[in-house]
Structure 1
Amino acid sequence: MSKRPGSKLPGGGGGGAGKRKALSIKEKLDIIKRFEGNERTCDISRATGLKESTLRTIRDNAVKIKETSRTGTGASAAKSIRGRPREIEEMERLLSLWMEGKRSGTTFLTAKGKALSIYADLKRKSSNPGEVAPFRASCGWFSGFKHRYNFQSLQLLGEAASAQLKAAKELPALIQKLVKEEGYTLDQIFNFDETGLYYKRMPRRTYISRAEKHGPGPKAAKDRVTVLLGANASGDLKLKPVVVYRSANPQALRGVVRASLGVHYRYSKKGWMTAQVCIDIFAEFFPVLEDYCKRKNLAFKILIIIDNAPSHPLTIAELNPNVKFIFLPPETTSLIQPLGQGVIALFKAYYLRRTFKMLLAATGGENAETVIEFWKRFNIKMAIDIIVEAWNDVTRECLHRVWKKMLPDLIHEFKGFEPSEQLKKIKASCVDLAKQVGFEGVKKKDVDELLEAPPDRLSSEDMRQLAAEGQVEAEDEEEEDSPKAAPRQLDTVQLSDVLGVIEKQLQWLEDNDYNAERSRIVARGVRTNLEPYRRLQYERRRLAKQQKSYVYLKRREVNGPSTSGGAASRLALDTPRSVIPQ
């Protein structure tokens, strides 16, 4: 996603007590000329006394500054631009971050409320609150803010709400007509939707939540991931989830083969879906969809329904001629988008339930970890494992049932199944598990609050930290400079030792358990689950023997074959598994 102008504070946006220096257009043009003369940023900073972040902002806005100098008079170009209060600029920057994450559902009233809330917070934390200028969040300010940050598509006062409701009512009939005319089956119709997930957030009344709120360490904004889910209308095919995180190579994933994660792992600086990630992911999905159609003896023609978020560029509709996209009208997502009719909510509930189960398993028994100890080591790798399991928990019936609003004439009712009823059961299970862990104060309303809160509801402090960390990443690119971690390896000798130890322990159970049936069931289950490792061990031994045979033959060729050497050589090469005595 392209950066929005103004994402960095002019002049560095520091928290010093002095007023920010306002630069004239002429001074900015002089700085631009220095950049065009290939001067380094650090050299210009020393010469002008300006921070490097300020200089980069001027360089990035060179086109706009030059245009301003051409349209203004000579006198006005030489004057300083009217300085704006630092608190207002900081508020607008944080507000832009909030609106970028919110993506939809933003009107003047919601933006005004958030702006006033952020500004009041900044004023309260100012060293001299009495000197901070008043701010009213007027319509004129909002219009200028939209222009400065390229939020031109926002609509004021919810004036388009009636048109959106009308579109939500008319669209299903149009889609069903298209499905009938083009001959799509439910197996060929897909919906994709993403959601924000704070993978380390707990219900409010847990002492983990209170400790994270008041203690040092990463804020919730740092633990945010975006999860993209996709499935077809029959519920027969669930695509592998996409997880977008704010780190390209987090410590917990170093040395891990990404293809083995069970998700498509992607990186963006804010942990949000971007247009480029979207394009790359769908390019990977298309071969999967084509293979699925072949297995079902269907023509490879796919209809994908998706919302029109900025991170879903229209160019994805041009990637494959056999795949047609329908972009839902603005603000209709919550009304008719299939995955938004219960799948996303159930997925998050399943995620929370499995998190509690993992926490309970890790802290139960003697010499086990405490809850705080486990939570400190809970990382993105563990979260990804739970995401995979939670997506597997979503049933085919649920994935089919949620298309009722979009394709009312094509969806079969499932008696006794309703996503909302299933969601209530999962929430109740989460409350029970929380109490088993030791969170006695957790109530149903706490789980409701956690699961139903908008994923992008960040506090001002969260947004400031997220923005600061994003700037550090942009300047340092620490992920790119960090040394490459060696890939994880299974040493053949150690693998054999581990398998041997497990087999001895299973044999001990079979020899000592008075309940022969119990030990037999356990041993058979463990041996079945270990079969992939045994096949790996067998393949490695077979290749080692083959390589040993090849080395033996090469040595015989150098020393000169015996009378029977030629036959032996041909036998070994024709049948690689043959063992030649040495």
Structure 2
Amino acid sequence: MQENHENIRKKRTCKNFTTVDKLKILKECENASVSQVSRNHNISEQTVRNWKKRKLQLEELGKSERKLQIKRVRKPICEALDRALYIWYLEMRTRRIPLTGSIIKTKAIELFNEMDLQENFTASNGWISRWKVRHGIRNLHITDKEMCVDADAAYKFKIELSQKIKNENITLAQIFNVGETGLYFRMLPVKTVMEKEERQASAFKQNEDYMTIMLCSNADGSLKLPLVVIGKHEKPRVMQNILHILPIYYVHESNEWMESNIFETWFKSEFVPRVTSFLQEKNLPIKAVLLFDDALWHPSVETLSLNNITAYDLPPNTTALIQPMDQGIIESLKRRYRAKLLSSFLNEQKGNIDAITHLKSLTIKDAVYWLIDAWNEVTTNTIFKSWRNILSVERFEHETEGLSLEPTDRDLLYFLHQIKNYENVTQDTVQKWILKADNIFPELPSNKEIIEIAIARDKHENENETENIKEEKEEEEEEEKIDPACALSAAKILFSFVERNGLLEKEEELALLLKIKDRIITMNIAQ
């Protein structure tokens, strides 16, 4: 017994881990607890948790062979400035505002002067290189394009596309469009009654709740490809056992943004195979066109051609005029998603759970489930109408006139007014929430706002580090509490409820419930 205690008290060997070592250990944390992983490698739990906090930086370092053997990621001299600049950068990126190294340096100096910091700071090339590495930024997009719409270019492209469709005898089912959007999946409208500290806490925390979504559909709505969801973690803990069966194409990226390599991989491994199978089922020629906007992080069209399936980028500054996804499809998805989000608040409110508590409990899994449902509910009519600005009107003469039952501003306002502390939200606020809630700030933030958020974030992280560790341990313990007997009891209640209330509409739904119930019974017997 004494020998065991001596082993426990034995000092850990001092060891320096390279970037690749740290990433391998963090990979193990996806399938085991932090405490277990730390014991396996004879390192402290706090060390592993610190690596998890810096995972984005480590992943970025891991993408460079030259930096794989780096054993230390240096902290910035001015941490508050580093955070403030990154908050500003996120805002510019989500608004697709082009940036250069010199622009970022100038902004850094502005923020530094207003923050009245005591440290010495020089916005050098070496500093900006290290800043990019710390935040997982691979490149800065440099462009001299004017930030305005080009109606002439849009009209010319429309004529060219119409001619191509006619010459090659392409049907609506063979023309596709893909578009991306960002989503702060836990964001509610800003309330006038909300305290300043609460606004700050909500704003600086938003980057933890951000994901990029990419939608793709053909012009007649007969094929809606699974949503592409770009999240921060390779296998989010809450989805690690179901990710392989979800009808989404999930990709992890340290900054949750679309990058050219992600787009190209999706095109070749997901888009082409699914479209090929679809065209074969419809007895159509294996020929298709994919339209996408001129975002600087998209790959070149030369790399997107496979088996007579080709891609065409829209002319610069025409996305707002003619890209179908931006003519109503993305908005429809978001309206439906936000209606489901608000419904969850009303449901929890019945159990006396306040909005802030429920907001904190929401996870990326909840968001993905709602997005899947919302995408399934986007109607053929909505898709048809969104192609009118780029295809000839005559092609929509057979369009049906059915109602889309899409949530309106008034519907969402009605939901909001039933949530405590949101009784006085206006319709104008709701419109901004639907269309502009994918930035932390409704308008471009001032330096003062950015600095306040950065300082509040620093304070919040220091106060809640212990709480996060506690929550992680509680989550691990909770996973062990659910046994097959409890699950079987819940399954029986669910089965009885859906039967009595007539909630089963299709044979497949009944078959699925029965199959899940049988699997739980088998697990219970085997226990």
Contact 2:187 2:437 in 1 (8 A): no
Equivalents in 2 of 1:331, 1:463: separation in Å? Answer: 32
Provide the residue aligned with 1:531 in structure 2: 511
Give how far 1:493 is off.
6.9
Q: Which deviations, in whole Å up to 9, do the C-alpha atoms of 1:25-54 show, x marking residues without a partner? A: xxxxxxxxxxx9999756xx9xxxxx8468
Q: 1:285 is paired with a residue of what secondary structure? A: helix
1:148-547 map, 5 Å: 150-155=140-145, 158=146, 164-205=150-191, 212-215=198-201, 219-253=205-239, 255-282=240-267, 283-314=269-300, 317-318=303-304, 320-364=306-350, 367-412=351-396, 414=399, 426-438=408-420, 439-453=422-436, 455-456=438-439, 459=445, 460=450, 499=491, 522=502, 529-535=509-515
C-alpha distance in structure 1 between counterparts of 2:362 and 2:83, whole Å: 33
Which whole-Å CA distance do the structure 1 matches of 2:432 and 2:68 have between them?
53
* Aligned equivalents of 2:210, 2:428: Cα separation in 1: 22
Structure 1 gap segments, 5+ residues each: 1-35, 46-50, 56-84, 134-147, 469-481, 510-518, 546-582
- Conserved? CA contact 1:230–1:239, under 8 Å: yes
CA distance in 1, matches of 2:311, 2:89: 29
- What letter matches 1:124 in structure 2? E
Name the counterpart of 2:125.
none
Within 1, Cα distance between the matches of 2:238 and 2:193?
25
The answer on whether the counterparts of 2:346 and 2:419 sit within 8 Å (CA) in structure 1 is yes
| Contact 1:87/1:122 (8 A) holds in 2 | no
Deviations 1:414-440 (A, max 9, x none): 586899xx87x6111110000112310
Helix, strand or coil: the match of 1:235? coil
Contact 2:206 2:440 in 1 (8 A): no
1:164-202 deviation digits (Å, cap 9, x = unpaired): 332111000100111111111001110000001111111
Q: Is the 8 A contact 1:192 1:231 kept in 2?
A: yes
Residues 327, 457 of structure 1: CA spacing in aligned structure 2 closer, same or farther, 3 A cutoff?
farther
Aligned CA distance change for structure 1 residues 178 and 210 (closer, same or farther; 3 Å): farther
Shift of 1:231: 0.7
Deviation at 1:323, TM superposition (A): 0.8
Alpha-carbon separation, structure 1, partners of 2:313 and 2:254: 26
Q: What is the aligned partner in structure 2 of residue 560 from structure 1?
A: none
**8 Å Cα contact 2:337-2:371 kept in structure 1:** yes
TM-score, length basis structure 2:
0.65
From the superposition, tell whether residues 100 and 497 of structure 1 become closer, same or farther in structure 2 (CA, over 3 Å). Answer: closer
**Partners of 1:403 and 1:411 within 8 A in 2:** no
Paired AA for residue 123 in structure 1: N
Cα 1:462–1:417 change in 2 (3 A) is: farther
CA positional deviation for 1:314: 2.1
Amino acid at match of 1:152: I
CA contact (8 A) 2:342 2:416 kept: yes
Higher relative contact order (CA 8 A, sep 6+): 2
1:317–1:323 contact (8 Å) kept in structure 2: no
Q: Is the 8 A contact 1:202 1:209 kept in 2?
A: no
Which letter does structure 1 place at the counterpart of 2:143?
S
Larger Rg computed on CA atoms: 1
Aligned to 2:114: 124
Q: Which residue of 1 aligns with 2:465?
A: none
C-alpha spacing 1:171/1:225, structure 2 compared with 1 (3 Å): same
* Residue 350 of structure 1, CA deviation: 1.7
Verify the 8 A CA contact 1:204 1:210 in the aligned structure 2: no
Offset, 1:210: 6.1
Residue type matched to 2:95 in 1?
A: K
2:3 paired residue number: none
Change (3 A) 1:251 1:89: closer
Query: In structure 2, how many angstroms separate the alpha carbons of the residues matched to 1:290 and 1:374?
Result: 43
Deviation digits for residues 252-300 of structure 1, max 9, x if unmatched? 22x4221333322211111111122212222212221122112212122
CA distance in 1 between counterparts of 2:107 and 2:203 reads: 24
Counterpart of 1:442, as a letter, is V
Q: How many angstroms does 1:368 deviate by?
A: 3.9
Q: 1:527 to 1:321 in 2, by over 3 A?
A: closer
AA of the residue aligned to 2:346: L
Query: Does 405-414 or 261-270 show the bigger shift?
Result: 405-414
1:368-394 Cα distance to aligned partner (Å, 9 max, x none): 422222111011111111111222222
Task: Confirm or deny: 8 A CA contact 2:178 2:214 kept in the other structure.
Answer: yes
Q: CA offset at residue 536 of structure 1?
A: 5.2
TM-score, normalised by the number of residues in structure 1 = 0.60
Which deviations, in whole Å up to 9, do the C-alpha atoms of 1:183-236 show, x marking residues without a partner?
110011100000011111111117679664244896112211111011110112
When residues 252 and 274 of structure 1 are mapped into structure 2, their CA distance, relative to the original with a 3 A threshold, is same
The structural deviation recorded for 1:98 is 4.5
Letter matched to residue 114 of structure 2: R
Overall identity of the aligned pairs, in %: 21
2: CA distance between counterparts of 1:418 and 1:332? 29
Structure 2 residue aligned with 1:102: 95
In structure 2, stretches of 5+ residues that fail to align are 1-64, 123-137, 459-471
CA contact (8 A) 1:226 1:244 kept: yes
CA distance in 1 between counterparts of 2:74 and 2:504 reads 65
Q: Is the 8 A contact 1:98 1:463 kept in 2?
A: no
2:191 and 2:425 in contact (8 A); partners too: yes
Work out whether residues 491 and 517 of structure 2, in 8 Å CA contact, stay in contact via their aligned partners in 1: no
Letter in 1 for 2:514: R
Alignment-mate amino acid for residue 444 of structure 1: Q
Partner of 2:62: none
Cα distance change of structure 1 residues 541 and 368 upon mapping to structure 2, 3 Å threshold: closer
Secondary structure of the 1:237 match is coil
Distance in 1, Cα, partners of 2:334 & 2:82: 36
Task: Map Cα deviations across residues 344-389 of structure 1 (whole Å, 9 max, x no partner).
Answer: 122212211111111112222xx44222221110111111111112
- Partners of 1:40 and 1:248 in 2: how far apart? 22
